[in-house]
């Protein structure tokens, strides 16, 4: 066995390096280091895990990198090019732990294994090196081991292809396509995209690794996207060759043509071909059980941009944690595959009302059928991760426990299918039950009969085939086990014959079986007649070891029986793997069906436990929520013992209108505006994901795009201030929102000077109303904006109620029609603990500011400035005006706009100011 350079154990030790004789001479290296350098050179860009006995060793620069990343000791031994060779190593049996750390740190690893026993190398000569080769390239997107993966998250490998578009192409003249696969589960999808929605699609997919062509990687306009991804791998343009992609994909799936796969664009084929080529390269010939690529239509899912996903905390909070997200709040699944499917549904809500309704039917069925739901969840709780076990089997990385998991999963699937068959089930559950019965039941029976109850982790350990499964193996095991009893009997006889009660027969990997006695008893075995029986083997510090002819013969029998038994188990293991691989498609379909049933049962339990209702989802533009609640905040408040105040939201088009309403929400800080905005967006996501929603009633016309601009963050790495980020996100909304979109905006314009911010918010609100014509919620502290409801027909003022009591402000968290006249910022500052002197000084300053005439500028804008939509149209020619008293006309107009019965005292005061200004001709 070869050893690391700093090992003191003899074996395949490197030759001493020769000293340089003269400048320019090529220094000789040991055969082992020559082999290492050759393999390393063939795998650039990867750390090389070089197998040496029980360790993976790293040398030279790789060792320095790995030692820093893993926090392990860096040693130096031997010479290369006149300098010490840095090296470090990790134990083979803990390799997955270290691989996980390196992959998480952004490195790729080439795993180089010994391809023959050291004894074979010695036959070629004393200085021969054990043959080694890289068996796998480990990258973030190609992981399959449970220890390296999050069981409840997909691990997606994606590729982005870009091809020149034809005449009439929009945007930058390119057609883009994404292919994305999870080789740990077998899912494989492709979809076209474009430059305007590329970031949204990448945020939806969340690739662990993205493959791009070199030219695309260097594109200055796209480079900011790469910063938001955990790993981006540039590849030569040949990897994305659309002309050869079809043949490459057909070869991978072992078919003559892709005609049966469907119709794909050139860009989609290029993206899918790049993934296939990368998998073949990293898995070195092993073929994961990928499903055939499924094409997704661009309009199939709600588009949610990255900022909106972050603001709404759909799958993780702004700090990156799952706890506190929408996913965590609604997840009632009991399998890891179910949790992954639920996350995917939340990440890409549907836009097809028919498919959404099918999901609702399934959830409603299990919400009503309490007994069936409980039985299904009990069964599902015992279902292992079939898809990931199947992937490891296909890639040759499976152990006996993976085969047992498949067998157990298939048995549970059959039982679950029977439960559904006995109940009136809707289409989604019926389809899932049919998939559960697609696997030959003989496979599960075979796996159950063949595998023992207690299984080792690795096949090389043996002992995993059940006794009684094969006669030849049972006989070989009996010989092996009987021989062990013979060894014990021989030891007892030697003790009786020699009189040495401490005599033991022991075994190790170097000497095999040997007789061991203490130094005090060693002379006894050297005396006649025992000196003719026992032969000295080794002297230890406190013991001496001997062997005998009889013991050597027995060892040969034991060794032969043990090796034969292990070899037979390996043959049976391969036969079981072959049986599993013969039904790959059916097993993967079974795994997907189990996930669907788990998600459906979990959403049904959620609906019952949290009092969620079935929403109405159609192709209209309605958005009506009654008794709506925030699914995350409500659960948090319940844990703290507090109630959640439900609210209504009506964004449906007014009678006779062809576009939805926009609510302008005012009210003080901490009153719950942001919660109200977010809860309605989350209700839309849940509904279109196929889940019941936290409300007493909900009718939602399908939302094609969801936009949210909530909160304040900066992006210093890209040189963007908080206000700049706000404006970039607002620009994306105003440029892309449609009448089917739902827009959530909170505090637009608050990051700059007051009048700048008010102007931007004013113009943005007009644009949303007149140009985008979308449904929306627009929260603001610019109370001047409420006057816009006088001229924007679909703009509705709403406010969050508060109550003042003995100088304190009480937040009621109830959203009602109307407009707030104060922000209560000073009261909130007092609650936050600002010094008393600061609070009182702020009150005095506020009083002075409020005494100024602040309404007149707003009124002049309403009276004199045309609507945003009219600014782009040439004004009509002015007609000759009749001579009239301008002061009288101004007073008359001001009086016409006054309704004394509807005015608050403050509004009456402001009206008097306007009359005074009009009378003065101002």
Give the pLDDT score at 13: 34
Q: Are residues 105 and 181 in the same domain?
A: no
Contact 305, 704 (CB under 8 A): no
Give the pLDDT score at 869: 58
Q: Is the model's pLDDT at 60 over the cut of 80?
A: yes
Give the pLDDT score at 384: 95
Range name among 247-261, 657-671, 711-725 with the lowest pLDDT average: 711-725
Average pLDDT over every residue of 708-728: 68
Q: Are residues 195 and 227 in the same domain?
A: yes
Phi, psi values for residue 4, rounded to 5°: -65, 160
Confidence of residue 748 (pLDDT cuts 50, 70, 90): confident
Q: Are residues 706 and 754 in the same domain?
A: yes
Give the pLDDT score at 3: 37
Average pLDDT over every residue of 603-610: 97
Average pLDDT over every residue of 724-747: 90
Give the pLDDT score at 141: 93
Residue 663 lies in a domain: yes
Give the pLDDT score at 856: 53
Higher-confidence residue of 561 and 1: namely 561
Q: Are residues 196 and 166 in the same domain?
A: yes
Q: Is the model's pLDDT at 717 over the cut of 50?
A: no
Residue 486 lies in a domain: yes
667 known member of a binding site: yes
Average pLDDT over every residue of 733-747: 93
Range name among 24-33, 257-266, 433-442, 729-738 with the lowest pLDDT average: 24-33
Structure tokens at 351: 């836009």
Counting residues of the chain whose pLDDT is more than 90, the rounded percentage is 55
Range name among 164-168, 399-403, 533-537 with the lowest pLDDT average: 164-168
DSSP state of 451: B
Give the pLDDT score at 815: 92
Average pLDDT over every residue of 613-622: 97
C-alpha 813/C-alpha 800 separation (Å) is 6
Give the pLDDT score at 905: 67
C-alpha 405/C-alpha 787 separation (Å) is 65
Range name among 190-199, 260-269, 697-706, 834-843 with the lowest pLDDT average: 834-843
25, 365, 377, 419, 569 from 371: Cα distances, Å: 82, 11, 10, 10, 43
Contact 210, 139 (CB under 8 A): no
Range name among 105-114, 207-216, 475-484 with the lowest pLDDT average: 475-484
Which residue in the block uniquely carries the two structure tokens 């004393």? 126
Confidence of residue 616 (pLDDT cuts 50, 70, 90): very high
Among 135-144, 620-629, 715-724, the range of highest mean pLDDT = 620-629
Contact 708, 678 (CB under 8 A): yes
Q: Are residues 776 and 793 in the same domain?
A: yes
Q: Give me Rg for the CA atoms of the chain.
A: 37
- CA proximity to 660, closest of 680, 685, 639, 640: 680
Q: Which helix (H) or strand (E) holds 235?
A: strand 232-235
**Could you read off the pLDDT of 120-174 as tens digits, one per residue?**
888 888 778 899 999 889 999 999 888 888 999 999 999 999 998 754 444 567 8
The partner residues of 816 in beta bridges, in order of sequence, read 799
Give the pLDDT score at 718: 54
Which residue in the block uniquely carries the two structure tokens 């009480």? 810
Residue 843 lies in a domain: no
Phi, psi values for residue 714, rounded to 5°: -115, 175
Contact 206, 347 (CB under 8 A): yes
Range name among 201-205, 831-835, 868-872 with the lowest pLDDT average: 868-872
Confidence of residue 859 (pLDDT cuts 50, 70, 90): low
**Could you read off the pLDDT of 673-716 as tens digits, one per residue?**
899 999 999 999 999 999 999 999 999 999 999 999 876 554 44
List the strands of the sheet with 662-666, edge to edge.
303-304, 705-709, 742-746, 775-779, 662-666, 795-805, 808-817
DSSP secondary structure string, 557-617? HHHHHHHHHHHHHHHHHHHHHHHHHTTHHHHHHHHHHHHHHHHHHHHHHHHHHHT-BPPEE
Average pLDDT over every residue of 560-576: 91
Residue 397 lies in a domain: yes
Give the pLDDT score at 276: 94
866 known member of a binding site: no
Average pLDDT over every residue of 518-537: 90
CATH number at residue 233: 3.30.420.110
Residue 25 lies in a domain: no
Q: Is the model's pLDDT at 874 over the cut of 50?
A: no
Residue 199 lies in a domain: yes
Q: Are residues 629 and 778 in the same domain?
A: yes
Q: Is the model's pLDDT at 478 over the cut of 80?
A: yes
DSSP state of 804: E
Considering 112, 138, 164, which residue would you say is the last residue of a domain?
138
Structure tokens at 794: 């679909």
719 known member of a binding site: no
- CA proximity to 666, closest of 782, 752, 754, 757: 782
Q: Are residues 775 and 902 in the same domain?
A: no
Give the pLDDT score at 771: 93
C-alpha 154/C-alpha 184 separation (Å) is 8
Range name among 169-173, 327-331, 627-631, 782-786 with the lowest pLDDT average: 169-173
CATH number at residue 76: 3.40.1170.10
Average pLDDT over every residue of 795-817: 83
Give the pLDDT score at 709: 85
Residue 12 lies in a domain: no
Q: Is the model's pLDDT at 880 over the cut of 70?
A: no
Q: Is the model's pLDDT at 334 over the cut of 90?
A: yes
Q: Are residues 506 and 587 in the same domain?
A: no
Q: Are residues 370 and 426 in the same domain?
A: yes
Average pLDDT over every residue of 627-654: 93
Contact 690, 702 (CB under 8 A): no
Q: Centre a 10 Å sphere on the Cβ of residue 248 and count the other Cβ atoms it contains.
A: 18
Q: Is the model's pLDDT at 795 over the cut of 80?
A: yes
Considering 117, 138, 159, which residue would you say is the last residue of a domain?
138
Structure tokens at 804: 């003042």
Q: Are residues 374 and 352 in the same domain?
A: yes
Confidence of residue 890 (pLDDT cuts 50, 70, 90): low
The partner residues of 698 in beta bridges, in order of sequence, read 625
Confidence of residue 756 (pLDDT cuts 50, 70, 90): confident
**Number of structural domains found in the chain:** 6
In a 13 Å sphere around the CA of 285, the CA atoms on its Cβ side amount to: 3
Give the pLDDT score at 8: 30
* Mean of per-residue pLDDT scores for the chain: 86
CATH number at residue 616: 3.40.50.300
The partner residues of 159 in beta bridges, in order of sequence, read 179, 211
DSSP secondary structure string, 34-75? HHHHHHHHHSTTSEEEEEETTEEEEEHHHHHHHHHHHT---E
- CA proximity to 47, closest of 2, 102, 86: 102
C-alpha 322/C-alpha 344 separation (Å) is 14
Question: Where in the sequence is the domain holding 516, given as residue range(s)?
Answer: 471-565
Residue 865 lies in a domain: no
Counting residues of the chain whose pLDDT is more than 70, the rounded percentage is 87
Q: Is the model's pLDDT at 884 over the cut of 70?
A: no
Q: Is the model's pLDDT at 15 over the cut of 60?
A: no
671 known member of a binding site: yes
Higher-confidence residue of 714 and 60: namely 60
Give the pLDDT score at 161: 94
Give the pLDDT score at 26: 37
> ∠878-879-883 over CA atoms, to 5°?
115
Q: How does strand 616-618 pair with strand 697-701?
A: parallel
Higher-confidence residue of 640 and 495: namely 495
C-alpha 904/C-alpha 159 separation (Å) is 61
First to last CA, the chain: 99
43 known member of a binding site: no
Give the pLDDT score at 22: 34
C-alpha 852/C-alpha 847 separation (Å) is 9
Q: Are residues 716 and 744 in the same domain?
A: yes
668 known member of a binding site: yes
400 known member of a binding site: no
**Could you read off the pLDDT of 217-249 as tens digits, one per residue?**
999 889 889 988 999 999 999 999 988 899 999
Range name among 125-129, 203-207, 407-411, 661-665 with the lowest pLDDT average: 125-129
CATH number at residue 526: 1.10.1420.10
Contact 135, 48 (CB under 8 A): no
Q: Are residues 693 and 785 in the same domain?
A: yes
């Amino acid at each position: 066995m070869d050893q690391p350079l700093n090992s003191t154990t003899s074996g395949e030790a490197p030759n001493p390096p020769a000293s340089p004789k003269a400048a320019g001479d090529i220094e000789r290296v040991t055969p082992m280091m020559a082999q290492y350098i050759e393999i390393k050179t063939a795998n650039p860009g990867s750390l090389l895990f070089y197998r040496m006995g029980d360790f993976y060793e790293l040398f030279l620069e790789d060792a320095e990198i790995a030692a820093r990343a893993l926090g392990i000791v860096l040693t130096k031994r031997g010479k290369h090019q006149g300098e010490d060779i840095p090296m470090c190593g990790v134990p083979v049996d803990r390799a997955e732990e270290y691989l996980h750390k390196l992959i998480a740190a952004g490195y790729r690893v080439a795993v180089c294994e010994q391809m023959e026993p050291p004894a074979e190398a010695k036959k070629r000569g004393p200085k021969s090196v054990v043959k080694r080769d890289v068996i796998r390239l480990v990258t973030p997107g190609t992981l399959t081991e449970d220890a390296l993966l999050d069981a409840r998250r997909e691990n997606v490998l994606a590729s982005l292809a870009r091809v020149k578009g034809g005449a009439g192409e929009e945007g930058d003249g390119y057609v883009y396509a994404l292919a994305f696969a999870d080789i740990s589960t077998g899912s494989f999808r492709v979809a076209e995209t474009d430059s305007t929605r590329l970031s949204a699609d990448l945020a939806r997919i969340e690739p662990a690794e993205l493959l791009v062509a070199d030219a695309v990687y260097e594109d200055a306009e796209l480079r900011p996207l790469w910063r938001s991804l955990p790993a981006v791998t540039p590849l030569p343009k040949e990897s994305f060759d659309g002309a050869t992609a079809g043949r490459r994909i057909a070869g991978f799936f072992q078919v003559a043509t892709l005609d049966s796969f469907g119709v794909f664009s050139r860009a989609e084929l290029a993206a899918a071909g790049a993934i296939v080529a990368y998998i073949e390269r990293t898995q070195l010939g092993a073929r994961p059980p990928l499903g055939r690529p499924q094409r997704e239509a661009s309009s199939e899912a709600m588009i949610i941009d990255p900022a909106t996903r972050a603001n709404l905390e759909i799958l993780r909070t702004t700090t990156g944690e799952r706890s506190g997200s929408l996913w965590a709040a609604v997840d009632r699944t009991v399998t890891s595959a179910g949790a992954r499917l639920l996350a995917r549904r939340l990440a890409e809500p549907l836009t097809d009302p028919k498919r959404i309704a099918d999901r609702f039917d399934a959830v409603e069925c299990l919400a009503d059928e309490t007994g069936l739901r409980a039985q299904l969840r009990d069964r599902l709780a015992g279902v292992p991760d079939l898809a990931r076990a199947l992937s490891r089997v296909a890639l040759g990385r499976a152990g006996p426990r993976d085969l047992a998991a498949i067998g157990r999963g298939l048995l549970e699937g059959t039982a679950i299918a029977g439960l559904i068959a006995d109940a009136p089930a809707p289409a989604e559950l019926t389809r899932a039950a049919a998939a559960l019965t697609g696997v030959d039941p003989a496979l599960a029976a075979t796996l159950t009969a063949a595998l023992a109850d207690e299984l080792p982790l690795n096949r090389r350990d043996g002992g995993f085939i059940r006794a009684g499964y094969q006669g030849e193996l049972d006989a070989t095991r009996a010989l092996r086990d009987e021989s062990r009893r013979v060894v014990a009997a021989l030891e007892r006889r030697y003790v009786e014959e020699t009189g040495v009660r401490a005599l033991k027969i022991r075994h190790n990997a170097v000497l095999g079986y040997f007789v061991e006695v203490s130094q005090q008893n060693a002379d006894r075995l050297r005396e006649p007649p025992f000196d003719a029986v026992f032969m000295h083997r080794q002297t230890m510090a406190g013991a001496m070891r001997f062997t005998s002819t009889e013991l050597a013969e027995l060892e040969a029998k034991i060794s032969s029986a043990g090796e034969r038994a292990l070899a037979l188990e390996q043959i049976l293991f391969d036969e079981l793997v072959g049986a599993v691989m013969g039904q790959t498609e059916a097993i993967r379909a079974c795994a997907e069906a189990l996930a669907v049933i788990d998600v459906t049962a979990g959403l049904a339990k959620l609906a019952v436990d949290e009092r969620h209702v079935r929403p109405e989802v159609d192709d209209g533009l309605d958005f009506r929520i009654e008794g709506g609640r925030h699914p995350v905040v409500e659960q948090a408040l319940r844990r703290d013992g507090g109630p959640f105040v439900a609210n209504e939201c009506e964004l449906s088009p007014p009678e006779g209108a062809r576009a939805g309403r926009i609510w302008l929400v005012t009210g003080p800080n901490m009153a719950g505006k942001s919660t109200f905005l977010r809860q309605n967006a989350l209700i839309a996501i849940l509904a279109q994901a196929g889940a019941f929603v936290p409300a007493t009633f909900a009718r939602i016309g399908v939302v094609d795009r969801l936009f949210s601009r909530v909160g304040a963050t900066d992006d210093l790495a890209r040189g963007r201030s908080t206000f700049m980020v706000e404006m970039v996100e607002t620009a994306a909304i105003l440029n892309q929102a449609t009448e089917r979109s739902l827009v959530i905006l909170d505090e637009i314009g608050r990051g700059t000077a007051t009048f700048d911010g008010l102007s931007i918010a004013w113009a943005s609100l007009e644009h949303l109303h007149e140009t985008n014509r979308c449904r929306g919620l627009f929260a603001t502290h610019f109370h001047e904006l409420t006057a816009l409801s006088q001229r924007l027909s679909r703009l509705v003022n709403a406010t969050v109620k508060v109550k003042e009591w003995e100088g304190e402000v009480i937040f009621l968290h109830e959203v009602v029609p109307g407009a707030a006249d104060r922000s209560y910022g000073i009261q909130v500052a007092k609650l936050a603990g600002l010094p008393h002197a600061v609070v009182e000084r702020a009150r005095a300053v506020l009083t002075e500011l409020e005494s100024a005439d602040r309404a007149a500028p707003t009124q002049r804008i309403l009276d004199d400035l045309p609507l945003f939509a009219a600014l782009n149209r040439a004004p009509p020619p002015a007609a000759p005006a009749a001579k009239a008293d301008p002061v009288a006309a101004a007073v008359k107009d001001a009086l016409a706009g006054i309704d004394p019965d509807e005015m608050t005292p403050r509004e009456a005061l402001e009206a008097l100011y306007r009359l005074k200004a009009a009378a003065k001709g101002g």
